[in-house]
Amino acid sequence: MDFEDLRREIEEIHVGFRAPQPTTEERLLELFRVFKISEESLSAQLRASKDPDDDRRSDCIVEMQSIIMDKAIALPADSPAGVLYKLAMWRWDCAEIDARNPDLMRQEAIAFAAFLDLARLLKSEIVLKPNDRSAMLGAKPAESTALSESVSAVMAHFRSEDADSLAGSQRKIATGV
pLDDT, tens digit, 9 for 90 and up, residues 126-162: 999 988 887 776 554 444 355 555 555 555 555 555 5
The DSSP element (H or E) to which 45 belongs, if any, is: helix 24-47
- Under the banding of pLDDT at 50, 70 and 90, the label for residue 177 is low
pLDDT at position 138? 57
Name 110's Cβ contacts closer than 8 Å, sequence gap at least 6. Answer: none
CA distance 128 to 118: 11
**Rounded mean pLDDT, 109-138:** 88
The overall longest dimension of the chain from CA atoms, in Å, is: 99
Indicate if the pLDDT at residue 164 is higher than 80: no
Report d(CA 35, CA 82) in Å as an integer.
14
Nearest to 71 by CA among 122, 29, 127: 29
- Please report, as a single letter, which amino acid is at residue 171: R
For 24-78, how does the pLDDT look when each residue is reduced to its tens digit (9 = 90+)? 999 999 999 999 999 988 888 888 877 767 788 888 899 999 999 999 999 999 9
pLDDT at 81: 97
| Sign of the torsion formed by the C-alpha atoms of 71, 29, 84 and 46 | negative
Whether the CB-CB separation of 127 and 85 falls below 8 Å is answered with yes
- Residue 14's identity, in one-letter code, is H
